[in-house]
Amino acid sequence: MSVSRLLLSFVVIALPFGMAPAVAQPADVPATSPKKPSKGEQQALKWFSMLDANQDGRISRDEAKVAFRLSPSLAEYFRNADLNGDGYLTQQEIRTVADRRRAERQERRKREALQKQQAQAAALGRDSATAAPDAQR
């Protein structure tokens, strides 16, 4: 496997993960303030630029085919991230997918925390219920 193919596969795999920090900006930052790209966003933009062979601001299926051969699951990611179905990935589409995945993770963590709290409360209820008969003796 050539170095360029290996690099390309790494870039395509890492791109969606590198964009996540880029979209995780604090909510209290005014929209008019110039924002400095995070390190993750800078890296993702660099990777995006490397994949965008013709520098048209989007990654075509043809530009990503080498990566698909190296990791077939990336073809499915490409299909899911191509939100408008035009056969190209834009930085905005990748950011949107990263936003959705982050929101899904946050929601899952909230559910898991609630379930844990409920389980702890139920366990405390069982403990106090079993302790009550002992206290009466």
Alpha carbon 39 to its chain centroid, in Å, reads 16
Tokens at 109, concatenated: 């963590």
Residues facing 58 on adjacent strands? 90
With cut-offs at 50, 70 and 90, classify the pLDDT of residue 90. Answer: very high
- Per the CB < 8 A criterion, the answer to whether 66 and 8 are in contact is yes
Give the pTM. 0.58
Tokens at 97, concatenated: 């997918």
**What pLDDT does residue 60 have?**
94
Residue type, 34: P
Q: With 90 as the cut, is the pLDDT of residue 87 above it?
A: yes
Q: Give the residue extent of every domain in the chain.
A: 3-26+36-103
Q: Distance of CA 105 to CAs 38, 68, 81, 112, 114, Å? A: 21, 26, 17, 10, 14
What is the CATH code of the structural domain delimited by 3-26+36-103? 1.10.238.10
User: From the CB of residue 8, how many other CB atoms can be counted at a distance below 10 Å?
Assistant: 22
**What pLDDT does residue 110 have?**
97
3-state DSSP call for residue 79? helix
More confident: 65 or 12: 65
Tokens at 76, concatenated: 């499915």
